[in-house]
Amino acid sequence: MVNVPSLLEINTDLARKILTSFLREEITRTGMARGVVGLSGGVDSALACFLAVEALGPANVLAVRMPYKQSSPDSLRHAEQVIQATGVKSLTIDITPMVEPLFSQIPSIDARRKGNVMARERMIILYDQSAEFGALVIGTGNKTEIMLGYTTLYGDSACALNPLGDLYKTQVRQLSRAMGVPEAIVAKAPTADLWSGQTDEGELGFTYEDVDRLLYLLVDERYSPEECVQAGFKKAFVERVVEIVRRNQFKRVLPPIAKLSHRTVGYDFLYLRDWGT
């Protein structure tokens, strides 16, 4: 079997340098100097916060905790550890009184829909705080969740720029340890924390370690699914992940615009966001 774990290993000093420079340069070239991060208590947002602080300074980063009444107390506590460790400005806004009135009007709403509503409510708060604080919203989605579409569109995936989107979950953990994110946060089971005992890996049905190795071969090394099976992965697992990746492409692109004119956004009106800066 291909020794993928070693291929997923990264030079954390280099990653740290590139990602902090990215945050600093891409925020300051817009004329701003600050960032807002939603802190869930998990490793992704903790790392995004550490990187933002190193890039911009603690006084220029606002960490926002947005618990729901059923959120695990661990989540709040772990987010507090990040706030203490980095010295960022912080704010806690309970989303329960915002989302409950909607839930109570829709008796049929299930846990998944509730989760999406909560993710989008948090997005509303972060964008509003970014206006108040004169900042950009810093994303926390990693490459694994982007590939799997394990994210709420216009919810937790919404951001102005994302330093973590090209790091697999296992690489996020490596960089987090190197940057001093508290070990309790790095080591705990990842969770969307929508109900008690929920974990990402329980919901997905596979571990991040396994799927990161597979995604690395499929995406980075351009292996065919058959080659992944030959490399030692179970056929059913490979087929399932390939299908998940394909089905979630819509979350990775802007909505298609129906082309009518000679020049249309997304097809032949092509500029980087950094246009003129």
Partner 1 sequence: MIQNMMLRIALAQISTKLGDVPANLEKHLAYIRRARKAGARLVVFPELSLTGYALQDLASTVACRPVEDDPVFRPLLKASLVIDIAVGFVEEDVRNRFYISSAYLSRGEVVHVHRKVYLPTYGMFDEGRFFALGDRVQAFDTSFGRIGMLICEDFWHASPPYLLWLDGADLFLFMSSSPGRGLRTHPELDSARWVERVNRGYANLFTSFVVHTNKVGFEDGLNFWGGAMVFDPNGRQIAKGPNHEEALILAELDLNQLHRTRARLPLLRDERTALTQRELQRILAESSHTTNLR
Which residues of the chain form contacts with partner 1 (CB under 8 A)? 7, 9-11, 13-15, 17-18, 21-22, 25-26, 161, 166, 268-277
Which listed residue (26, 44, 121, 212) is catalytic? 44
Nearer to partner 1, 224 or 277 (CB): 277
CB of 161 to partner 1, least distance (A): 8
Q: Is 44 a catalytic residue?
A: yes
CB of 259 to partner 1, least distance (A): 16
CB of 69 to partner 1, least distance (A): 37
Nearer to partner 1, 236 or 270 (CB): 270
CB of 2 to partner 1, least distance (A): 15
Instruction: Determine the Cα–Cα distance for residues 215 and 168; give it in Å rounded to an integer.
Output: 9
Instruction: Determine the Cα–Cα distance for residues 63 and 86; give it in Å rounded to an integer.
Output: 10
Which listed residue (54, 121, 145, 193) is catalytic? 145
Nearer to partner 1, 52 or 118 (CB): 52
Nearer to partner 1, 56 or 117 (CB): 56
Instruction: Determine the Cα–Cα distance for residues 88 and 56; give it in Å rounded to an integer.
Output: 10
